[in-house]
Amino acid sequence: MGKVKEKSKVKLPKPEDVALAKPLVHKLALAKARFGKVAEQLAKAGEVKRSDPKHRAARKRVKRAQRKLRGTLKYAAQRAKPAPVVADAPAAAAPGS
């Protein structure tokens, strides 16, 4: 069997450096705040169950925001890669020669 190729870890840019990510960071912060409120309300009412519909919905909202943010950062990292350098064309091919 062949050897599995090792993938290099993708270094993602910071969300502050990516213009498209700024609204997503805000959305994630709101989702986390909402999740905290839901968890707090459930704690006051008794036991916090992860399967509780409110807890589950709030957690899903956070995960969705995180997934969207990570996808945007991956897209920005991919676009930021420098274009491959093309060797200079020979002087004979230059116009006007």
Evaluate whether residue 91 is within a structural domain: no
SS3 state of residue 49: coil
71-92 pLDDT, tens digit each: 999 999 988 776 666 666 565 5
pLDDT attached to residue 33: 97
Does residue 46 sit within a domain? yes
Cβ distance 69 to 63 under 8 Å?
A: no
DSSP class of residue 94? S
State if pTM tops 0.75.
Answer: no
Read off the pLDDT of residues 8-43 as tens digits, 9 standing for 90 and up.
787 899 999 999 999 999 999 999 999 999 999 999
How far apart CA 92 and CA 97 sit, in angstroms, is 7
- Range 50-58 average pLDDT: 93
pLDDT of residue 11: 86
Identify the domain containing residue 70 by its residue range: 15-80
Residue 57 has pLDDT above 90, yes or no: yes
Average pLDDT over residues 44-55: 88
Q: How many domains does the chain have?
A: 1
Asked if residue 86 belongs to a domain, the reply is no
